[in-house]
A and B are shown apart, each in its own frame.
Chain A
Amino acid sequence: MINNSTINRFKKVVGDEYVLTSKEELLSYSYDSTAGVDSVVPKLVVKPGSTEEVAEVIKIANEEEINVIPRGAGSNLCGGTIPVENSVVVVLTRLNKILEIDEENLTATVEAGVITVDVHDAVEEKGLFYPPDPGSMSVSTIGGNIAECAGGLRGLKYGVTKDYVMGLEIVLPTGEIIEVGGKTVKNVTGYDLPKLYTGSEGTLGIITKAILKLIPKPETHKSMMAIFDELDGAAETISSIISNKVVPVTLEIMDRVTIKTVEDFANIGLPTDAEAVLLIEVDGIEEVVERDAKKVIKICEEHGARQVKLAKTDEERDDVWAARRSALSALARMKPTTILEDATVPRSNIPDMIRGVNEIAKKYGLQIGTFGHAGDGNLHPTILTDERDKEEMEKVHKAVEEIFDIALDLDGTLSGEHGIGIAKAGFMAQELGEDGLQALRNIKYSLDPKGLLNPHKLIGDGSNE
C-alpha cells in the first residue's frame, strides 16, 4: 500500500512538484485513448527527469511492492497505459531531448519522451527520414511507439517501429539500467533484446532512451486516387501492384460506409455509390516514381477502376490525402463512441475480411466503417456506438470477438499495430495457443519476478509465481 512515507520516498527522488497526489490529477491519469475499457485511478503519478530517477523509482516500487504503469502521452488504443490496482503511473515526458542525429551512421539517439513528430522534423531538416508515422504522431512519444511497436501509413514499403530500433537503454523491472544494441548495422552479440523490448508494452521494463535507424529522405512522391465499383477489383489491384514489383509507400483502402461518411462530412467530391476507393502514393527518385506511377494507373484501370486521379500539384496531393485523413474524424463524429480495431490479414485476404466485417455489422445491426492500410493487410474496422448504451455495447463486444475470429481464420492476427494491452489480452491464447502464451509469461516472469511492470497487460492475468 502507498502511505505518506512511500510518497515522500518518491518525492525525494524526483522532487515534490513531480509527484502528483491530488484526486483531480490522479483521475487525469486513469485513462488513455482506448474506448470501451474502464478507467482505473492510480495511487500516485510520478514524473522522473532522468534514467537514474526512473531506476530509483522502480527500486522503491519493488521494495514497496507497488505496480508500475509506464506512460508517455497515453495515446495508445489497447488500454496499455490504463492503471491497475495499487499502482504508480510513471510518466516519461520529461525525458524529452533529441540527443544526437548522426549523419555518418544514419542514427538518431533520443530520450523516450520525445514526441514522434519532433523526431520527424529534426531528421528531415537534415535530409533524413524516420518512417514510422502512427496516427497519433503529433502527440505520441518515441518510448510509447517502441513499447507498442507503432505502425502507420508507410508500413508497406518502410516497415514499422521495430524495423527502426537499433539500440535501447532500459530500466529493468528490478531497477538495473542496461543498454542493448547500438549503432552498428550488424550485431549478433546475444539475444536481440531491442527487438524483444519493441512491442513489449511496458511489461518487461521501462525504455528510457533509443537509437533509431534513419534512411535518406525520398526525393519525390506521387499520389493517386482510384475509384472502384467492385470490392474485388480493388482487391485484385492491391495484389497486382505488388506482384508487378511496385511497392507503394502507402496503399490505403476505404470501404463504402467510410466513403459515404467522409463525403457527407467533408464534401470533397467522393463518389458515394463507389464500393471502394484506393489511395496510393509511390516515392523514391524521380525517374522511378514516374515509372511506378504510370504502372499503378495502368493496373488500376486494368482491374476496372472507374476513375484514377493523379495529383499533379502539392495541393492536389493534399486533396487526395484529405479524404484519408478525415476518415477517422468523419466516422467518429457519427456517434459518441468509436471503437477502432486493427485486425490484420495477409493482403490477399482483404476482400474476404471486409466482407466478413460487413456481415457482422449486418448481423448485430451495428454501424461499422472499414478503412486502413490495405497494402499491408492492416484494416481498421471502426465500430460507431455509444458507451452509455449498455445493450448495444454487448453487441459491440460480440462483434469484436467475431472480427477477431475471422481475422484468425484468414491467417491473420489480432492486432497489427495497436497492441494487445488490456483490451485484447483475453484473446491471446486463441492466436498463440496455451503453450505459446505460456512462453510469453515465462519471459515476463524471468525478467519481472514480482510481476510489477504493467501487470495484466499483454499476457493477461495468469502468473508464474
Chain B
Amino acid sequence: MSKILKEVEEEVAKCMKCGLCRAVCPIFSELDNEATVARGKVNLIENVNSGELGLTDKYEKLMELCLMCKACVANCPCGVEVDKIVLKAREELAQDKGLSMIKKGIFSVLQNKFVFPLGMKLGSIFQGLAFSKNDGPQPGNNPRVSVGLDRRRVIPDLAEKTFKEEFPEVVKVDNPKARVAYYTGCTVNYIYPEFGESVVNVLVENGIEVVIPQGQQCCGTPVRIYGDTKTAKKLAQTNVEEFAKHNDVDAIITSCSSCGLALKEEFEEVLGTSPELKEFSDKVYDIAEYLVDVIDFDREGLGAVRRKVTYHDPCHLVRGMGVSEQPREILEAIPGVYFEEMDRPDRCCGSAGSFNLKYYDLSMDINKHKIEDIKQTGADTLATGCGACKMHISDGLNQAGMDQEIVHTVQLLDEAYQKRKVNREKKSKRAG
C-alpha cells in the first residue's frame, strides 16, 4: 500500500458497501455505472491497495469522476468521508503520473502572486476578442472559438476593476461593534465583485469594520482537489500568513462556499494542525452564518424587496460548513420576499470547479435537474452562496432560455438596507 493511501486506510475499511450512496450521487444518477458511485470507488481503491489493480488510465478517469459534493458522505450510515478518500487517490495519481499538462499550466499560474492577477486583468480587457456577447437571457459571453471551452457556454464578464482594486484595505466605521477580515476568493475578486460589495455593505450597515487583506490569494481548492497538494500547501501558507498580519480581528468572513470550507477545515488538513491554525480556523464564518449566528443582524424596518426567491444550497456550504438555515433566515427576514423552496435544494449543480471544463456535457446533464427544480418554483430570483455555482447555473438557465437573476443571499439583504435608507430619508424629509 502506498504511503498516501495508507493515510485513509481506516476510512476505506469503514465502508460496508451498503450502496446507499447510489441514491444521492449525482454522477452515478447520470451514468448508472457502479464503478462511478462512492461504494464502487472505495472498492477500486481497496483493489489498488491490495495490488490487484494498478494505477491505470481508466482508474484515473474514474477518480476524476467525483464532484466532491459530499452527498454520499452526508447519506452514509457509516459516515465514510469518501471525498477525502478520493482526494488521496488523486494525490497518489498526481504523484505517480504527474498532473496533466493543461492543469499543470493553470495550477502554476494560480500560485503566482503576479502572473495570475495580471492574466485575469488582461483577460478583462481583451475578453471581447475571444468571446462574443451572449444573446441568450443570461448575461455573459460565448467563446468565439473553442479554446478548451464548449462554444455553447456562457462565460461571465471578467470585472473591469477587481474587487480588491475597488475597495480600500480597511473599510472603517465609527465606533465599530466588531472588526472582521474578509477573504474574497477569486470569483468575487475577478468575476462577481458585486457579491463582495454587498458583503461589505451589510457588514458596515451592522456597524462592523471590514479589513480586506490585499495579499490574500486563491484558497487552493481548485488545485487541491486534483491532487496538487504541493501548490495547495503553498497557497494555504501564504493566506494564513497574510491574515496573521490582521490577527486582531474578531472573525474571518467568507462569501464563497468552497473558499469558506478551505479556510475553515482544509487548511488544517493540508498544513497539519497547530494551535495558531486552530485559532485561525475557529474565526472563519460564512457571511450568512456570521450575520445570523454571531451578530444577529439588524432587521429593523428593512425595505421591501419584491421578488419571488428560491435558494440553492452550495455543496460546500450545506454539507461542508453546515450552513443552510442561516441564508433562509436572512431571506425570510426581508419584507416583500416571497420564498419558495425548490425540490432538493442541496443537490449539486454539477459545477465542481474545473470538473465542468473537462466533463462539460456530464456537468450540464447534472445541471439540468437543478434548472428544472428552479423552473418548478416559478421564482424570478435564485439566491445562493457561491460564485462558482452561479456561473454554472447561469449557463444552464441560459441554455434553457430562462432569465432568472442569480444573486448572493446578502445582495438581497443589501438591497433591503438600501431601501430602508431611502425610506428613512423620505420620512425625515416629510417630518422636516
Contacts and interface: CB of A to CB of B under 8 A. Distances in A.
Interface of A: 20, 22-25, 27-35, 47, 73-75, 93-94, 115, 117, 136, 138-139, 328-329, 332-333, 336-338, 386-388
Contact of A24 (B32, B53, B79): B53
Interface in B1-50: 10, 13-14, 16-20, 22-23, 32-35, 40, 43-44, 47
Contact of B77 (A94, A115, A329): A329
Given A24-B56, A329-B78, A333-B78, A33 B44 contact: no
Contacts of A388: 13
A332 B16 contact: yes
Contact of A23 (B10, B22, B53, B77): B53
Contacts of A336: 10, 13-14
A73 B19 CA distance: 8
Given A75-B19, A333-B14, 4 more contacts: A24-B58, A25-B33, A337-B16, A338-B16
A136 B53 contact: no
A35 B43 CA distance: 13
A28 B43 contact: yes
Contacts of A387: 13
A86 B269 CA distance: 45
B17 A28 contact: no
A332 B18 CA distance: 11
A29 B40 CA distance: 8
Contacts of B78: 329, 332-333, 338
A367 B22 CA distance: 29
A28 B77 contact: no
What band does the interface of chain B fall in when counting residues whose beta carbon is under 8 Å from A? 20 to 34
Contacts of A94: 32
A28 B35 contact: yes
Nearest to A337: B16
B52 A136 contact: no
A47 B18 CA distance: 21
A333 B13 contact: no
Given A24-B53, A28-B35, A29-B34, A136 B19 contact: yes
Best-surrounded residue of A23, A24, A35, A329 (most CB of chain B within 10 A):
A24
A138 B23 contact: yes
B35 A24 contact: yes
Given A93-B32, A136-B20, A139-B23, A27 B44 contact: yes
A34 B19 CA distance: 10
A136 B39 CA distance: 14
Interface of B: 10, 13-14, 16-20, 22-23, 32-35, 40, 43-44, 47, 52-53, 56, 58-59, 62, 77-79
The dominant DSSP class at the B interface is: helix
Contacts of A338: 16, 78
Contacts of A117: 23
21 contacts: A20-B33, A23-B53, A23-B56, A23-B58, A27-B35, A27-B52, A28-B33, A28-B34, A30-B43, A31-B17, A31-B43, A75-B20, A93-B32, A139-B22, A139-B23, A329-B77, A332-B78, A333-B79, A337-B16, A338-B78, A386-B13
Contacts of B32: 47, 93-94
A329 B74 CA distance: 12
Contact of A75 (B10, B14, B18): B18
B53 A33 contact: no
Contacts of B77: 328-329, 332-333
A75 B79 CA distance: 18
B16 A138 contact: no
Given A136-B20, A138-B20, A28 B40 contact: yes
Contact of B17 (A20, A24, A32, A333): A32
Contacts of A386: 13
Nearest to A339: B16
Nearest to B15: A336
B23 A22 contact: no
B44 A28 contact: yes
Contacts of A24: 35, 44, 53, 56, 58-59, 62
Nearest to B60: A24
Which of B18, B47, B52 counts the most A-chain CB atoms under 10 A from its CB?
A: B18
| Most chain B CB neighbours (cut-off 10 Å) among A20, A34, A35, A332 | A332
A57 B23 CA distance: 28
A35 B19 CA distance: 12
A74 B79 CA distance: 20
A28 B58 CA distance: 13
Contacts of B13: 336-337, 386-388
Nearest to B18: A33
A212 B213 CA distance: 64
B53 A27 contact: yes
A73 B17 CA distance: 11
Contacts of A34: 17
A75 B233 CA distance: 40
A116 to B, nearest CB: 11
A33 B43 CA distance: 12
A25 B17 CA distance: 16
Nearest to A26: B35
A342 to B, nearest CB: 15
Contacts of B62: 24
A198 B34 CA distance: 25
Nearest to B40: A28
Contacts of A93: 32
Given A28-B40, A94-B32, A139-B22, A35 B53 contact: no
A22 B16 CA distance: 24
5 smallest beta-carbon distances between A and B, as pairs: A28-B35, A329-B77, A138-B23, A336-B13, A139-B22
B120 to A, nearest CB: 38
A160 to B, nearest CB: 20
Contacts of A20: 33
Contacts of A31: 17, 43
